[in-house]
Structure 1
Amino acid sequence: MTAHETLSLAYDRGMLTVRLTRPERQNSITATLLAELGAALDLAERTEDCRLVVLEAEGGTFCSGMDLYDAAGTGAGGPDASRGGTEYYALLERLTSVGRIVVARVDGQVVGGGVGLVAACDFVYATGRSQFSLPEALWGLMPCSVLPFLIRRVGFQRAHTMALSTLPVGAVEAERCRLVDEVTEDAWPSLRRLLFRASRFDQAVVGGLKRYMRRLWIVDEGTREYAVGEFARLMSSDAVRRRIAEFASGRAATRFSADRP
């Protein structure tokens, strides 16, 4: 297993496992994580017999979205927010177009931008403990880059209500709305079936099918520009940055309690 700053990689018989390894920061999204995820996808494409990329995480939180400590510490507005938003959106696009089958193996909380990572994957397997939420409105933000990919997976209305309510969606409900393909405590049998099937067809089929499906969908270059621009605009607000700083320091933790109305 190869160690990196934010994740580890392991390859075995056609399957590259990418594990997020910062549980102390809830496997949050940073520039380093985005770069290392991109490099992992590069490795998968360079490895001729690789068929599956499995994304998983340590510590009971699959991914908590944007690293609020970094955002609070840097005031991440303006150009910084635009650059970060562009890199994040580009990774989601890459997941939907890379010539390998990408699987999210979820066990625990998935928050904000983490929902985008899951929604951009080809298959999602989640344990019954898993929950998915979009809390951005609590900070005066919107899940700008998440929504195009979430709508693609679950439809407009369900994505709309997740963003507007900020309430967590449990694994069973996530399966019902197709954010999750299967609720299971052991994803290995499903992964084995996928790997067996994928090994039987030409590698180019995966990338070709993904490109074709993307052309059938409404997301285009204009969507990326609008999503990133809106995120940068919101992150430039003093009120938004103040709320993020309060949450990061723990003073506003009750705003994001799944057990509170």
Structure 2
Amino acid sequence: MGVVSDSYQTIKFRNDRGLATLQFHRPEANNTINDQLVSECRAVLAEFGSQIRVLVIEGLPEVFCFGADFKAIHQAGSDPAASDGTRSAEDLYDLWLDLAQGPYVTVAHVRGKANAGGMGFVAACDIVLADETAAFSLSELLFGLFPACVLPFLIRKIGKQKAHYMTLMTVPVQVGEAHRWGLVDAYAANSDDLLRRHMLRLRRLSKSGIQRYKTYLASLENDLAAQRDKAVVGNRAVFNDPENLEKIARFVETGQFPWEGGHGGR
């Protein structure tokens, strides 16, 4: 069984002799990202990263991760003492860097919806497995935002034009199309079985071999680290814009999208 930790509130984590699973577990909030989730994910990697050979990232059966927690952002925006979110963006980007370049194989196991910031977790992982319900989207521009921190990782995975298309269109890309684009490496009706078969192979890799390979790979693609500051600045700009915050507040309070109820022209 290995190590099973119940000390976290937004994630579930278990580590069985270097084969680990980190599950996002915020069913009450549609598996959205808040500061605590980022902090707990980073704490897991800080404590167990040296032991982990393969790390599976997964969500709930109907939603992998739906992006930023708008309710938390709205509440912070109404609090004069709250931070501007810059630190959160830096921490989230650094978490994705850890997944992309850390000394372990990272596997995103996607079932259901992966949206906005959830796409950052998908794009940062070494391998992406999915079931037939998986759908991938970037909804940010609907609220006047854009996926500043996601794009460096997504462009690395599928190329600039497809990432650009996803950003502009904002509609979900179904799993078959995502597979053709190279975002998803493999998918099946039973993704648990698909994951099991991959793990049977990945468990043969040594920790030292993985670490040397990932270090070498990172040296070939240092753009991710180089783009960090630019991504954080872009994130701060869109999440500090009063008009965007108004759209977020309206969505949180009424459930209406920006184009509904007479606000479509704004």
State the TM-score, normalizing by the size of structure 1.
0.89
Please name the residue that 1:67 is paired with: 69
CA contact 2:188–2:194 (8 Å) conserved in 1:
no
Please name the residue that 1:235 is paired with: 239
CA contact 2:31–2:64 (8 Å) conserved in 1:
yes
| Correspondent of 1:53 among 49, 52, 55 | 55
Of 116-125 and 203-212, deviating more is: 203-212
| Correspondent of 1:210 among 202, 207, 214 | 214
Please name the residue that 1:130 is paired with: 134
CA contact 2:142–2:258 (8 Å) conserved in 1:
no
- Post-superposition shift, 1:208? 2.3
CA contact 2:128–2:183 (8 Å) conserved in 1:
yes
CA contact 2:102–2:211 (8 Å) conserved in 1:
yes
| Correspondent of 1:2 among 1, 5, 9 | 5
Please name the residue that 2:105 is paired with: 101
Q: Tell me which amino acid in the other structure corresponds to 2:67.
A: G
Rate the CA distance shift 1:63–1:199 in 2: closer, same or farther, 3 A: closer
The alignment partner of 2:244 has SS state of helix
The alignment partner of 1:54 has SS state of strand
Whether 1:44 aligns to 2:39 is no
Of 110-119 and 34-43, deviating more is: 34-43
CA contact 1:123–1:181 (8 Å) conserved in 2:
yes
Aligned length: 254
Instruction: Return the alpha-carbon distance in structure 2 between the equivalents of residues 54 and 128 of structure 1.
Output: 18
CA contact 1:16–1:44 (8 Å) conserved in 2:
no
CA contact 1:26–1:59 (8 Å) conserved in 2:
no
| Correspondent of 1:200 among 199, 204, 212 | 204
CA contact 1:116–1:145 (8 Å) conserved in 2:
yes
- Post-superposition shift, 1:222? 3.8
Rate the CA distance shift 1:178–1:235 in 2: closer, same or farther, 3 A: same
Instruction: Return the alpha-carbon distance in structure 2 between the equivalents of residues 40 and 255 of structure 1.
Output: 40
Correspondence 1:1-261 to 2 at 5 A? 1-3=4-6, 4-47=8-51, 50-58=52-60, 60-75=62-77, 80-217=84-221, 219-253=223-257
CA contact 1:18–1:53 (8 Å) conserved in 2:
yes
Cα RMSD (Å): 2.2
- Post-superposition shift, 1:197? 3.7
- Post-superposition shift, 1:248? 1.8
- Post-superposition shift, 1:218? 5.4
Of 57-66 and 122-131, deviating more is: 57-66
The sequence identity of aligned pairs, in percent, is 33
Q: Cα deviation per residue 1:47-81 (whole Å; 9 max; x = unaligned)?
A: 3xx42111111251110111100111112899522
Instruction: Return the alpha-carbon distance in structure 1 between the equivalents of residues 67 and 189 of structure 2.
Output: 23
Q: Tell me which amino acid in the other structure corresponds to 1:68.
A: F
Instruction: Return the alpha-carbon distance in structure 1 between the equivalents of residues 229 and 258 of structure 2.
Output: 33
Of 189-198 and 228-237, deviating more is: 189-198
Higher relative contact order (CA 8 A, sep 6+): 1
Structure 1 residue runs without a partner (length 5+): 257-261
Instruction: Return the alpha-carbon distance in structure 1 between the equivalents of residues 95 and 37 of structure 2.
Output: 10
The alignment partner of 2:227 has SS state of helix
